[in-house]
Amino acid sequence: MDAYLAAMMAHAPRNAPMAAAYRVTESARETPLGEGVWKAATGIGSYRIDFADPASGTVGFIGDVREGAGGVTVALRLRVKDRRITEVETIVGRARVPGTRIVGAPRASLTRIVPKKERLSRDRMIATANANFDAILSAQGGIYADDCQRVENRMAMSSNPDLDYPIGTIPGKPKPHFGSMGCRQQIEAHLFDQLDDVPLRRFLLLDEERQLVFGVYMMRWYRQGRCNQIPDYGEICPPKREPIALLNAELFGVAGGKIHEIEAVFSFAPYESDSGWTGDLRDSKAAGRRSR
């Protein structure tokens, strides 16, 4: 990973330790090595999370890539064989809610080595991460730990008292402070009722030492057009939106069978699109087989 990122910063594809045959995508599109985010990259920011799964030969990175005076959040997955890169999957997250606080540093728990006796099996790691999507669809938040934090494109989207959550209001009623809520409270407040389905769930990297699960997921929104049924507040019916998908790279901290960390990098995509990699559902099943 370090060698790949160094080659990117140097704009020198020949320096990347690539295999004789490899495949590269950026935000679900085939991209020649050296194109895309490589073109404008000038450095790696201080916000960086590294994770690895030796059992599958996969290494991951979530962090900031500087582009001149600005920067973007990037999720990056490398498949490695014989110390050569055979697959590169990059998702670039540029979308941000105006005025939302940017998280200064990853939480320390993302680098904590979990004692062996406390670690979940690979099967249970996948099952715990998978429960995140089922929780959103059912508005049942029991899978989340009390300290759960959700960060999207480096925006603090939960437990953030400064966030005015981008959702409508009911005239004459004070709006609940959704931004201050934790992961469970937001789910059970029905903030995500416009999510239609998450049919493609690819669990691609299991960092057993840190109990982290990384994958790429297609989240389809707004076709069914439901209203938000907010408990103790009322019904919010947002304006009709065009159906859309989020191409979502997500890292879950799953220590103790609960979700403690959610680090997401997303970009927008057409509603029916996939991640750009064939066998999306097969990959999910393969991850489960590897865990056994």
Identify whether the C-beta of residue 42 lies closer than 8 Å to the C-beta of residue 68. Answer: yes
Q: Tell me the pLDDT of the chain averaged across its residues.
A: 91
pTM for the predicted model, two decimal places:
0.92
Ranges 114-128, 135-149, 273-287: which has the least confidence: 273-287
CATH number at residue 60: 3.10.450.50
Task: Decide which of 93, 122, 157 is a domain's last residue.
Answer: 93
In angstroms, the Cα distances linking 13 to 22, 33, 40, 82, 175 are 13, 6, 14, 19, 51
Residue 100 lies in a domain: no
Identify whether the C-beta of residue 140 lies closer than 8 Å to the C-beta of residue 200. Answer: no
Identify whether the C-beta of residue 206 lies closer than 8 Å to the C-beta of residue 125. Answer: yes
Residue 99 lies in a domain: no
Identify whether the C-beta of residue 72 lies closer than 8 Å to the C-beta of residue 37. Answer: yes
The total number of structural domains that make up the chain: 2
Please give the average per-residue pLDDT across 104-130, as a whole number.
96
Identify whether the C-beta of residue 148 lies closer than 8 Å to the C-beta of residue 93. Answer: no
User: Does 119 share its domain with 34?
Assistant: no
* 290 has a pLDDT exceeding 70: no
* pLDDT > 90 in the chain, percent: 82
Identify whether the C-beta of residue 254 lies closer than 8 Å to the C-beta of residue 125. Answer: yes
- Backbone phi, then psi, for 150, in 5-degree steps? -110, 120
Q: What is the domain extent for residue 49? A: 2-93
Burial of 195 by CB count in 10 Å (0-12 exposed, 13-18 middle, 19+ buried)? middle
* 285 has a pLDDT exceeding 50: no
Q: Give me the pLDDT at residue 165, please.
A: 86
User: Does 6 share its domain with 142?
Assistant: no
Looking only at Cα atoms, what is the longest distance across the chain?
A: 65
User: Does 88 share its domain with 117?
Assistant: no
Residue 123 lies in a domain: yes
User: Does 185 share its domain with 85?
Assistant: no
